[in-house]
Amino acid sequence: MKKTQHKAAAPSEPAPAAASQPIGKKARRPPSPHSAHAKRVARQSEKMRASIIKAARELINEFGCELVTLRQIAEQVGCSAPALLNHDPNKQILLLAVQAHDVLAMQAAFQKMTAGVSDPVEKLRVLSKALVALAQNEPNQYRLLHMTQLPVVAPIELHVHGMEHGNPDRDPYFFARAICNELVAAGRVRPEYTDPDLITQAFWGAIHGVISLFLVKQQEPWFDWKPVPDLVEFVFSNLLKSLLLEQPPQARPRKKT
């Protein structure tokens, strides 16, 4: 008779050891975002962010965004370059934050300057003069806002900086567009030019074209440059002539009953 051979049973895998926990001590929970510590850290971060943007703004106004380095900004703030990189991983992202900050400041100025103006044509004229003043007084800031190619991001990504796409109170393009829409709604423009985006972009492009030409070519000795405010007013007035009806519609008198 053959002897029956029994295979040895495979050793069972040991059960995973339970995480060691010191006797008498409770596991630490992550800090709540509503805790006093978290709020203090958030305030410090916001303060640091404001200091970085302020330093970057001052250096850009003096030297231009192309020449300013992250190391210079860190020295201006009084922190190390690695600490600066914790807030902004590269120069382009920091310039986006500065640009958004300047856009909101420009928007607030637009609202203040047009607060007492009722005629939409005069509102547009005020905006054109404001752009000229910005370019003449802070040319490097104007260049960052209107003449610097930065990474294209979705509008929602700029909400973290306070901008709000499509909101005339937080978006200067839609603020100007709303003014152009007032002209259209009042029946003051020619029927072929009733698209408020077309009007907004035409005025913006024409005025910016004069300003940017001056900023880039103002040192050229070959031209007898005319004052930029006069050039912008010339372009602005002639655009209006092609846009507006010669006789705006008058309110119809009510019939006597």
The pLDDT of residue 24 is: 54
* Residue 150 Ramachandran class (φ > 0 left, ψ -120 to 50 alpha, else beta): beta
Calculate the CA 244 to chain-centre distance.
31
| Residues written for the chain | 257
Helix (H, G, I), strand (E, B) or coil at 256: coil
Q: Per DSSP, what are the bridge partners of residue 244?
A: 189
> pTM for the whole thing?
0.75
pLDDT in tens, the chain (257 residues): 444 454 444 445 445 444 445 555 555 666 565 677 666 666 777 788 889 999 999 999 999 999 999 999 999 999 888 888 887 778 888 898 899 899 999 999 999 999 999 999 999 999 999 999 999 999 999 999 999 988 887 777 777 677 888 899 989 999 999 999 999 999 999 999 999 999 999 999 999 999 999 999 988 888 888 999 999 999 999 999 999 998 655 544 555 55
- Residues 53 and 76: their CA atoms lie apart, in Å, by 11
- Which domains are seen in the chain, by residue range? 43-89 (1.10.10.60), 98-243 (1.10.357.10)
Token readout for 50 is: 């404001």
The pLDDT of residue 162 is: 79
The pLDDT of residue 28 is: 60
The pLDDT of residue 131 is: 96
Based on the number of CB atoms within 10 Å of its own CB, is 211 exposed (0-12), middle (13-18) or buried (19 or more)?
A: buried
Helix (H, G, I), strand (E, B) or coil at 189: strand
Q: Per DSSP, what are the bridge partners of residue 189?
A: 244
The pLDDT of residue 152 is: 80
The pLDDT of residue 8 is: 47
- Residues 160 and 228: their CA atoms lie apart, in Å, by 36
Please identify which residue in the block is written with the tokens 């703030």. Answer: 77
Residue-wise pLDDT tens digits, 170-190:
899 999 999 999 999 999 999
